[in-house]
Structures are given as C-alpha cells and as structure tokens.
Amino acid sequence: MWSIIIVLIVGIGIGSVLKPTDKIKNIISKFQFVGVTLLLFAMGAGLGLNKDLLNNLKDIGWIGFVFAVLTTLFSIICVYLSTTLFERRSK
C-alpha cells in the first residue's frame, strides 16, 4: 500500500518539475497506454484463472443485466416524476 502512495508522490514531484512540452506529454501518454494495457491484461488473466467465476458467468451476466435494466427504468421514472412535479409548481 505504501509503495503505491510513494510512487504516486514521486510521480507528482516529477510532473511538477518537468515543463509540459509536447515531447514529454507524448512520452507520458505512451507510458500510460502501456500501463493500462498491462493492467487490463493482468486483470483478465486473474479473472480467467478464477474457475468459480467462469462457472458462474451466466448467473453473473443475468444479475448484471437485471440490475442495468432496473436502474435505467427507475431513473426514467424518477426523472419523469420530478419533471412533472416541477412543471406543476412553475405554472
């Protein structure tokens, strides 16, 4: 945990010292791309090694789908109700 915080603080220090030229921004952008790609690969490998997750993938998918549909539905209902309530008050 502390290593993450130390690396973050060192990165902030280096970023505040360097002048933001286009060349530096380009180099940092490449480092970020490689870092995010490696992170996604590691997360995918970790998920792929989890046999319980792979066995329950169908159930997890359905739960996620139902959650997304209900969240969207209730958001639409709340927006509709609040819109009609505020329109009545403004008249």
State whether 32 and 62 are in the same domain: no
State whether 45 and 66 are in the same domain: no
Instruction: Give, in degrees to the nearest 5, the angle at Cα 60 between 55 and 65.
Output: 145
State whether 70 and 91 are in the same domain: yes
Total domain count for the chain?
2
State whether 61 and 79 are in the same domain: yes
Residue 34 structural domain: 19-50
Q: Residue 91: its pLDDT value, please? A: 66
**CA–CA separation, 28 and 56 (whole Å):** 39
Residue 73 domain-assigned (yes or no): yes
Supply the pTM of this predicted model: 0.53
Structure tokens at 34: 């490689």
pLDDT by residue, tens only, the chain of 91 residues? 889 899 999 989 988 887 778 888 898 899 999 999 999 999 999 988 988 888 888 888 899 999 999 999 999 999 999 999 888 777 6
- What separation, in Å, do the N-terminal and C-terminal C-alpha atoms of the chain show? 56
Residue 37 domain-assigned (yes or no): yes
State whether 31 and 46 are in the same domain: yes
